[in-house]
Amino acid sequence: MHRIEAAAAFAFALLVAARTPAGEPAPIRVPVLVELFTSEGCSSCPPADATLARLLRTQPVPGVEVIALGEHVDYWDSLGWRDPFSSHESTLRQSRYAELFGSGRIYTPQAVVGGQLDVVGNDEAELRNALEGLRSQPRGTIRLRPAAGEDGALTLHVDAEGLPAHGPAEVMLAVVEDGLVSKVARGENGGRTLEHAAVLRKLMRIGETAGATWLGDERIAVDSTWRRSALRLVAFVQERNTGRVLAAGGAGIAVRAVTEPAQPSY
């Protein structure tokens, strides 16, 4: 596996005060969470990974800001190639969606949009339809204010407000890394070089809420193998019993003046 500094190719537009050529404020874009369950061991997954990266880079759906998590599952790992970004936690999260959707099945590549819609991950037309369908759904807002700590950890203030009426919900925080590249030696993708965007590095539950707001602070330890310049934070509020995402937001990470870890080459 080889990692390169390619974060810029996959960076999505942050919530900034963009303006139209006429000088007017750009229309507000509604953040919608897309979770892609994928694996380097699955031959159908590279097109889905490319689709996710393209959606993040181009933001093609009017009125929608795509916020993404690339969740690499581990049930392909025994079939010829162990995905270096896989985790059993991602498999469990996908299994939970299978329960919520009543399908009882998991597959790759699967995209879950807004915690509600199940779409084949390499079907860009259906992904766009799902994003458009959730554009007008009531949702709250999330603001993230990250800062670097003295010990290399991150401190983060999360402010969620305006959440629509809901049952018990969880406040979730994810760390994702862009620009990851692997040279796959074996399995269905053997001999291919695969690129990934928004790879999930850590997902944690940082709070619960039954109301319209939530405020909190979190401290995040940053693994020494992650490239800080390629990391982003994603926060979302998710209704526990339905999976519905009530609000989502993302932010880049404030990078300290530290030396990046050397990039391994195999």
Statement: residue 265 has pLDDT above 60? no
Question: Which secondary structure element, helix H or strand E, spans residue 89, and what is its range?
Answer: helix 88-101
Lowest mean pLDDT segment, chosen from 16-30, 48-62, 90-104, 136-150: 16-30
Give percent of the chain with pLDDT exceeding 90. Answer: 77
Average pLDDT of every residue of the chain: 87
pTM metric for this prediction: 0.86
Cα–Cα dist 8/11, whole Å: 5
CB 211 within 8 A of CB 173: no
Cα–Cα dist 234/46, whole Å: 23
Please give the pLDDT value at position 23. Answer: 55
Q: Can you tell me the mean pLDDT for 98-125?
A: 96
DSSP 19: B
CB 119 within 8 A of CB 167: no
Read off the pLDDT of residues 192-247 as tens digits, 9 standing for 90 and up: 999 999 999 999 999 999 999 999 999 999 999 999 999 999 999 999 999 999 99
Is residue 58 in a domain?
Answer: yes
CB 247 within 8 A of CB 163: yes
Is residue 263 in a domain?
Answer: no
Q: Which residue has the higher pLDDT, 249 or 16?
A: 249
Is residue 165 in a domain?
Answer: yes
Q: What is the CATH number of the domain that holds 66?
A: 2.60.40.2060
- β-pair type (214-220, 199-209): unpaired
Please give the pLDDT value at position 225. Answer: 92
Q: Can you tell me the mean pLDDT for 164-185?
A: 97
What's the structural domain count of the chain? 1
Please give the pLDDT value at position 230. Answer: 95
Is residue 262 in a domain?
Answer: no
Please give the pLDDT value at position 63. Answer: 96
Is residue 136 in a domain?
Answer: yes
Residue range of the domain that includes 209: 7-252
Statement: residue 263 has pLDDT above 90? no
Statement: residue 15 has pLDDT above 60? no
Is residue 31 in a domain?
Answer: yes
Most confident segment among 13-22, 53-62, 223-232: 53-62
Q: Can you tell me the mean pLDDT for 130-141?
A: 96
Is residue 227 in a domain?
Answer: yes
Is residue 257 in a domain?
Answer: no
Q: Which CA distances in Å does 45 have to 143, 149, 159, 175?
A: 32, 37, 35, 21
